Amino acid sequence: MELITAFATGMELIKRIDNTTEEMIKNGANVIHLATGMVVGYPPCPRVDQFRKFITEKYGIKVVVGTHPIPEKYYKTHHKLGTWNSPEWQELIAPTLPDQETRLKYD
């Protein structure tokens, strides 16, 4: 596995996602990972699924939501708040939702 580039969220986000995705693909990326922080922050990024769909549709590349497992402390908070109860959120967090033992290691 090779990390090609990373970027932070901020102003003009969709432009940055578009430009950075294009650059990643030019550099050989075959999968794009959106940061785990997009789902564990509060509130989670409400556009994460739109970003995933945009990248997939425009570039035809696989997009995974998450770069590392969700830490237990964030799992507990979002579980209590019901943040991820919908089928859509369950799909989005699935790649980064390991068992409790693993989540505890990321606290």
Q: Check if the beta carbon of residue 4 is closer than 8 Å to that of residue 31.
A: no
Q: Which domain holds residue 84?
A: 13-105
Q: Domain total for the chain?
A: 1
Whether 19 maps to a domain, the answer reads yes
Whether 5 maps to a domain, the answer reads no
Count of other CB atoms within 10 angstroms of residue 91: 13
The predicted structure's pLDDT at residue 9: 53
Whether 8 maps to a domain, the answer reads no
Measured torsion, CA atoms of residues 59, 15, 69, 99, in degrees rounded to the nearest 10? -60
pLDDT tens track for 52-106: 999 999 999 999 999 899 999 999 999 999 999 999 999 999 999 999 999 999 9
Q: Check if the beta carbon of residue 106 is closer than 8 Å to that of residue 72.
A: yes
The predicted structure's pLDDT at residue 40: 92
The predicted structure's pLDDT at residue 20: 84
Whether 4 maps to a domain, the answer reads no
